[in-house]
Amino acid sequence: MEFVIIGSGSGALQAHRGPSGYVLNLKDETFLLDGGTGTVKKCLEADISYKEIDKIFYTHLHPDHTIDLVPFLFATKHTPDFIRTKPLEIYGPVGFRDFYEKFTSLYGTGITDVDYDITVRELDDIRKTFDNWSLETGLMRHAHNAIGYRFESEGKALVYSGDTDYCEGIVRLAQNADVLILECSFPDDMKVGGHLTPSEAGRIATEANV
């Protein structure tokens, strides 16, 4: 299991730091976790091609986590001498399918008329086992039915919260994880609902035994 930080910033754009975007490499598959502004380009800078992505997992619908879905689909379709044939699975919270259909409809067949299968799946609070890995999700305290993800493979567990406030959902999901990726948008003296402070992130890690 390999985890690559592509962007760890927020919706307040910075020249040196992009919004949320991460790549998780398992034994036989490559996953993209969220994809804010510039994620596809920054993946290429990290020597990770959008051509390699097998599945995309979105935590919620805010643009600093989803906006690069269109550049991803557009580049996948229009790159010369590249025809994607392997299917693409896109996961998101309840409501994501409607978001996907409306978002992609703005561009019509320019991004959706493709030679491979795209499957969009909505998740809420589930656990699912695949061939070489398992997925567990939990409801977070943010917006748009936000969810966090727990990936387990080869005896290791990685948990990604996406945006969230302190909640039992992330404490439960993160129990005894080997790696926990939490958002932390504001310092302790600037608490904003729906987001974590450093103290709250530390509390979650302690309670989850991470």
Which residues are tagged catalytic? 64
Token output for 190: 């600037």
Tokens 């919270």 belong to 93
Tokens 């991803």 belong to 72
Token output for 1: 């299991």
As a whole number of angstroms, the distance between CA 84 and CA 156 comes to 31
CA 172 to chain centroid, in Å, comes to 19
Question: Residue 145's CB: how many other CB atoms inside 10 A?
Answer: 18
The two beta strands, 2-7 and 21-25, are antiparallel
List strand residue ranges (DSSP E) for 8-47, in order: 21-25, 30-35
Question: Residue 126's CB: how many other CB atoms inside 10 A?
Answer: 12
Q: Which of 115, 37, 105, 48 is nearest to 76 (CA)?
A: 115
Q: Which of 165, 168, 171, 167 is nearest to 183 (CA)?
A: 165
